[in-house]
Structure 1
Amino acid sequence: MNAPSPARPGGTHPGDTALAARLRREIDGEVLFDAASRGRYSTDASIYQIEPLGVVIPRTEEAARTALAIAMGERVPVLPRGAGSSQCGQTVGAALVIDDSKYLNRLLEVDAAERRAVVQPGVVLDALNAQLRPHGLWFPVDVSTSAQATLGGMAGNNSCGSRSIAYGNMVHNVLAIDALTAAGERWRFGPLHERAGPPAYLELVQRLGALYEREKAEIAARFP
C-alpha cells in the first residue's frame, strides 16, 4: 500500500533541503534526505509504505535531543525507529525518522544480583542476551525477530513473545524508561512512588493517578 506524503505545516516536505541543512549543521549524526534513503525507510516488515520527510541517525543522546528540538521548532512530526521489524506499520510515516539502532545500541549497566540491566534503545535483543549470558541472565520477552528487534522498539510496541504467558510482556519486564518529551525534556517514567521530576511530569502523574482512582472499579470488573 503506497501513500503520498503531503506537505507538513510550515511547508516541510519529503527531502526538504532547508530542514536537512539545519540538521546537518546542528547535530552529531547522519542526516539522510536523499530519495534512496527515504525509499528504504518508507517500509518495514508490514505491507505499508509511506515516504518519510527524511532520516536522522544520531550518534549521541544529545544529538537525538537536538533533532527532536529542531523538529518541534519546525512543526515537523517525529517517528522513532529501531529495526523496522514491526508487521503493523508502526515504523513508517510522513515524519522525520530518528533511527537509534546504529549508534545508541549499548548495554550500559548490569546488576546481576538485582537481575537488572540498563540499555540504550537501539540494542538488539539477541545482542543483549549474548552479553547477559555470562551473568546467568536472559531477557525473557523472546520475540520471533530477536536477531533484529531493538529494546526501544519492543518497549514502544509492548512486545510479548512465545513465553509471555509465563514471563509477561515488555510492560511487565521494564522497570523504568528515560524518555525525551516533545519539548526535549528528559523524563523518567517508572514506579509511581518515585515521583521526582519537572512540574509538567508531576502534573501528568497526578492526572493519571486521578484517572485510575476514578476508573479503578471499572478496570477491576472488566480487565483482563
Structure 2
Amino acid sequence: MAAEVPGKSQESAKTDGIAARLARQITGDVLFDPFSRGRYATDASFYQIMPAGVVVPRTMDEALRVLAIARDEGLKVTPRGGGTSQCGQTVNDGLVVDLSKHLTRMLSLDVDNRTCVVEPGIVLDDLNRQLRKHGLSFPVDVSTASRATIGGMAGNNSCGGRSLRYGTMRDNTLSMEAALADGTLAHYGEVSRDLSDVDAGNGARALFRDMLDLGAREADEIAARFPKVQRRVGGYNLDALVPRNAPNNMAHLLVGSEGTLAFTTKVELKLWPVIRNKALGICHFGSFYQAMDAAQHLVKLKPIAVELVDRTMLALGRDIAMFRPIISTAIKGDPDAVLVVEFAEEDQADNLARLKQLGELMGDLGFGWSNDKRKWGGVVEITQPALQSGIADFRAAGLNVMMSMKQAGKPVSLSRTARCRCRISPTTPRA
C-alpha cells in the first residue's frame, strides 16, 4: 500500500496522479492548477463549475489519448472550443479538453464540389478567410463568428441569421469523424438502410443498425411529437434516423448533441459561393408585437435573413460611439422595434426589385410613416456596402452591446437543464 502524503487528501493525490500521467503521455498543456482551472470554470453563460483539470492537446492523436486516460481514470470529458456557449455547455467538473488552440486546421478543400474537411477547433471567421480566396464561404453566420469553433457549432446545431437561405449547421454538415466513450473511432455520414455501404471493420455497423432500428420503430411518434419548424435546435435529432426516400446521415444525430454522444475529430462541411451583392431593408414598427407579427408576411419575399432589433438594443447602440453614426443613418424616428430584411441574389437588380416589393408589402400591411403608433412604420433602404457592413458589425456585437446595460434588468444567460449537457462519460452507453 502506498504511503499517504501528510496533509494531502486521497482525492488530491489521485488528481495529482492523473495530471502526472497526462503530462507523461502528451506534449500539450496539462493544467491542473487552481488558476487555470478557474479560467475554464465558466463560459459566456451564468454557470461556473470548477473542472478537475484542463488539457490542451497538440494533435488529434493526443486528444484521443486524453480520452483513453480519462476513461481509464473514470473522468467525464468535456470537449471545448471558443467558450461562447450561453447555456453552460462547455463547463463541467470532469476533464476539459480545449481544442481551440492547436486543432484548428482545414484538412482538405474540394473547390469544384464545394466541400471541405476541418478540425473541430477551427474558428468560423478563420475558416471563411481561407475559403474566400476560392470564392467560397461557410454561411452559418453566428454572431460570435470571431471566436466560435466549428466543433462547438456542430455541437449545438448553430443557425445564424441567414438560416432562411442556408439552413442550420445540420443542413450544412456532410459527415463527421468521432470517437465514442469506449474509444471506437468511426466515420458518420450518409448510409443506406441495409448498411451495405458501411465498412464492417470500423466498429460502427452494430451501432448504426441499432439507431436505424430505433428510427423505424419510433417513426410515428417522432412524426407526431417533433415540431415542424425550420430552426429546431433543441434535443437529439432522432428524426435523422427514420426511414425515408434518401440515405440517412448518421452525422446528423451527432449535430446538436452537445458533445454527449461522441468526441468529434473531423467535420466535413458543405460550402456556398461568397455573397457578391445585397440590399437591406430596415422595416420600422411602432409596436414590438406588430414587428413580430409582420415577419410571417415579409419572409414570403424570400429574403436571405430577417432579424429583429428592439428598442433596448437601439438605445444601447446610440450610447456607443462606434455605432451611433450607423444607427442615426439607418433608423428613422423612434421605433419600438425594427426588422432587418436582407436580400442577396446574384444580380443586384433582383435585390433592388425585392427591396421595392418590401416597401409595397409594408404598405399593404397597413404601415405608414404618418400613421398612429400602432401602425406607424415603413422601410429605410440600405444599399451602400459600407453601411451594410456597419449594420452587420452592430448585429455581431449584439451580446456585448446588451452586456453594456447598467440597469438591474441586465439580461443573464442561463438554462436550468444545460449545466451538464456537454460530457462524454466512461459510463455513457454506446447508443
User: Which ranges in structure 2 are unaligned for 5 or more consecutive residues?
Assistant: 1-9, 229-431
TM-aligned CA distance change 1:34 to 1:112, over 3 Å: same
Normalised by the size of structure 2, how large is the TM-score?
0.48
Write the deviation string for residues 116-157 of structure 1: whole angstroms up to 9, x where unpaired: 001001000000000000111110111110000000111111
- The answer to whether 1:105 aligns with 2:104 is yes
SS at match of 1:45: coil
Alignment check: 8 A CA contact 1:52 1:97 kept: yes
Structure 1 equivalent of residue 214 of structure 2: 211
Structure 2 equivalent of residue 190 of structure 1: 189
TM-aligned CA distance change 1:197 to 1:178, over 3 Å: farther
Structure 2: how far apart are the matches of 1:198 and 1:218? 33
Structure 1 equivalent of residue 54 of structure 2: 55
Structure 1: how far apart are the matches of 2:13 and 2:154? 28
Structure 1 equivalent of residue 295 of structure 2: none
Within-5 A mapping of 1:136-175? 136-175=135-174
**Percent identical:** 53
SS at match of 1:177: strand
Q: Structure 1 runs of 4+ off > 6 angstroms?
A: none
Alignment check: 8 A CA contact 1:78 1:95 kept: yes
Structure 2 equivalent of residue 31 of structure 1: 30
TM-aligned CA distance change 1:218 to 1:105, over 3 Å: same
Within-5 A mapping of 1:40-79? 40-79=39-78
Deviation for aligned residue 1:204: 1.1
Deviation for aligned residue 1:203: 1.1
Alignment check: 8 A CA contact 1:41 1:51 kept: yes
Give the counterpart letter for 1:108 in structure 2. L
TM-aligned CA distance change 1:119 to 1:63, over 3 Å: same
Deviation for aligned residue 1:108: 1.1
Structure 2: how far apart are the matches of 1:15 and 1:128? 40
Give the counterpart letter for 1:38 in structure 2. R
Structure 1 equivalent of residue 223 of structure 2: 220
**Higher RCO (C-alpha under 8 Å, 6+ residues apart):** 2
Structure 1: how far apart are the matches of 2:17 and 2:176? 33
SS at match of 2:113: coil
- The answer to whether 1:128 aligns with 2:127 is yes
Write the deviation string for residues 197-221 of structure 1: whole angstroms up to 9, x where unpaired: 5474111111111111112233334
SS at match of 2:218: helix
SS at match of 1:80: strand
Normalised by the size of structure 1, how large is the TM-score?
0.90
Structure 2: how far apart are the matches of 1:142 and 1:15? 43
Stretch moving more, 57-66 or 194-203: 194-203
**Rg larger in structure:** 2
Structure 2: how far apart are the matches of 1:185 and 1:208? 16
Stretch moving more, 193-202 or 140-149: 193-202
Structure 2 equivalent of residue 22 of structure 1: 21
Give the counterpart letter for 1:136 in structure 2. G
User: Which ranges in structure 1 are unaligned for 5 or more consecutive residues?
Assistant: 1-10
Alignment check: 8 A CA contact 2:186 2:202 kept: no
Give the counterpart letter for 2:223 in structure 1. A
Structure 1: how far apart are the matches of 2:210 and 2:146? 39
Structure 2: how far apart are the matches of 1:102 and 1:222? 40
